[in-house]
Amino acid sequence: MYRIWPVHRNYAWGSDSRLQSLFRLTDDGPLAELWFSGHPQSPSLLDVDGDEIDLATAIKRAPAFMAGQSVIDRWGATLPFLFKIICADRPLSLQVHPRADKASKGFAEEEARRIDIHDPVRSFKDPVAKHEMVVALEPFSASVGFLPIRRQIEALQYIDHPLADSMVTILSQATGPAAAFDKTGREGAIFQAFSRAVTSETDGGEVTALAAACQRAAKADGCPSQIALALNHARIAAEAFPSDPSIFCIAMMNPVELDQGESVFIPAGTVHTYLKGTGAEIMTNSDNVLRAGMTIKHRDIPHLLENLSCSPAPPIDPSSGLLKLVFQADVVTYKPPLEEFMLAYGHVDPKSGATKGWWTVSDRLRRTQAKFSQAVGPQHMLASRPGPRIIVCLDGVIRCRSNSQIMDLSSGQAAYIPASEPSVSVSGAIEEPGSYILASTAL
């Protein structure tokens, strides 16, 4: 096992204190993300026998030892996931991540045009499709994917604004008996309404009124709870970006509110934004982001629209059947429908000993989501994994024990566990409880 240090990302939407407090950092200004990364553009540093070496280089020098043969056979000598701890104090950009064919094509085109990889206008940093999952470490708000088309119309009708009216007109053309089985027509209408918003030029005074309009609409008598929440998310976006017409799109999207330990999976092509909260985020090893609005960064609306999935669908959480949960008394494991990554969120409490009951997070989730999940008995040994893992201590002190090593991690510290150490147990190192998050492949 090797100590690993995250790469700091200081973005405007981050918090001035949350990650600094959790990881005992001294960053001034908003700190948004901490990357535990083998990505070639931003690899984390490892402590290897007293020397610092970046993770991408370490894996290339000893791929079988560091990543494992199964990873090499599937993805080459690389870490197939990118793991982050993130904190949003204000909304992120309205964004989409590219699908596999579009990522490969876009990367090749920008390479051919000799756009520097660090150029702010560069959209494709790598040729990899980007799927991601977030597990909330505290209450977490997001908007993900599209509501059913009638719900979109209902939400937009509460907003007294010409742009919202035009979006309703577009969407209404895809409703009614004749459109019931016309999936192409529904998706086309959503595409047109979304495009209308993100390509509009609306003056600041008009858009500023959206916040008040959404606030009034969300409190209106008889407003369904899902619509009220979608409008409240639009209000939050409007307050952060009062002159940006893309905020109208938030009223078209599924509002997501996660409690601690709850999760959502976001496939490539799914429009989304995170509004507020702290979470563990894991994704395929890609830094590709296509933005349509709510940002001071480069907007690539043509490529975003080219990758946008316009099929209305609920967010992919455990109730979807696609995001699997496995429960142990002290660990919840989150397994999305792909092989590149999974997460485990765990707890240790030395005082409770062998007779301990269920951790509150694990217990709450298994009770509320039992029919979507698999519960197993208490177990202190993390499941053997054939590939690389990264473990981060979130609070307290944890003890990681492999066949050859013991390493204690306190709050904010992290370790890289190579494939050569397939079995690792986690326990308490002091007489106080602690918690951790573990990232791994799902092979």
Indicate which CATH number applies to the domain containing 108. Answer: 2.60.120.10
Given 141, 176, 201, which residue is the final one in a domain?
Answer: 141
Q: What is the pTM of this model?
A: 0.93
Mean pLDDT value across residues 242-266: 95
Nearest one of 205, 204, 207, 203 to 164, comparing CA atoms: 207
Place of tokens 């994994």: 385
Residue 403 lies in a domain: yes
Instruction: Give the per-residue pLDDT at 223.
Output: 81
- Whether 176 shows a pLDDT value over 80: the answer reads no
For 329-333, the CB contacts below 8 A with 24+ separation are 329/356, 329/357, 329/358, 329/359, 329/362, 329/377, 329/378, 329/379, 330/356, 330/358, 330/359, 330/362, 330/378, 330/379, 330/380, 331/359, 331/362, 331/379, 331/382, 332/261, 332/361, 332/362, 332/365, 333/383
Instruction: Give the per-residue pLDDT at 38.
Output: 95
- Whether 383 shows a pLDDT value over 90: the answer reads no
Contact 420, 371 (CB under 8 A): no
Residue 242 pLDDT class (50, 70, 90 cuts) = confident
Domain that residue 93 falls in: 2-141
Residue 213 lies in a domain: no
- Whether 420 shows a pLDDT value over 70: the answer reads yes
Question: Which residues, listed in sequence order, are joined to residue 436 by a DSSP beta bridge?
Answer: 346, 393
Q: Which residues carry a binding-site annotation for Zn(2+)?
A: 95, 97, 132, 272
> Is 112 buried (19+), middle (13-18) or exposed (0-12) by CB count in 10 A?
exposed
Among 90, 99, 151, 291, the active-site one is: 291
- Whether 374 shows a pLDDT value over 70: the answer reads no
- Whether 208 shows a pLDDT value over 70: the answer reads no
Please give the Cα distance from 57 to 8 (Å, whole number): 19
- Whether 354 shows a pLDDT value over 60: the answer reads no
The full 3-state SS of 29-59, as one line of letters, equals CCECEEEECCCCCCCCEEEECCEEEEHHHHH
Q: How far is CA 119 from the centre of its chain?
A: 24
Given 141, 167, 202, which residue is the final one in a domain?
Answer: 141
Residue 358 lies in a domain: yes
Please give the Cα distance from 252 to 190 (Å, whole number): 9
Residue 111 lies in a domain: yes
For CA atoms 108, 110, 115, 118, give the dihedral sign.
Answer: negative
399 is catalytic: no
Instruction: Give the per-residue pLDDT at 181.
Output: 54
Residue 101 lies in a domain: yes
Residue 110 lies in a domain: yes
Mean pLDDT value across residues 416-440: 90
Place of tokens 């092979």: 443
Nearest one of 152, 110, 100, 121 to 291, comparing CA atoms: 121
- Whether 17 shows a pLDDT value over 70: the answer reads yes
Please give the Cα distance from 212 to 242 (Å, whole number): 11
Q: pLDDT tens for residues 136-170?
A: 999 999 999 999 999 999 999 998 888 999 999 99
Mean pLDDT value across residues 390-419: 94
Instruction: Give the per-residue pLDDT at 380.
Output: 47
Number of independent structural domains in the chain = 2
Mean pLDDT value across residues 281-299: 96
Please give the Cα distance from 80 to 388 (Å, whole number): 9
Q: pLDDT tens for residues 23-45?
A: 888 888 899 999 999 999 899 99
Q: Which residues carry a binding-site annotation?
A: 95, 97, 132, 272
Output phi, psi for 408, to 5 deg. Answer: -95, 135
Instruction: Indicate the SS3 state at residue 295.
Output: coil
Instruction: Indicate the SS3 state at residue 380.
Output: coil
Given 90, 111, 141, which residue is the final one in a domain?
Answer: 141
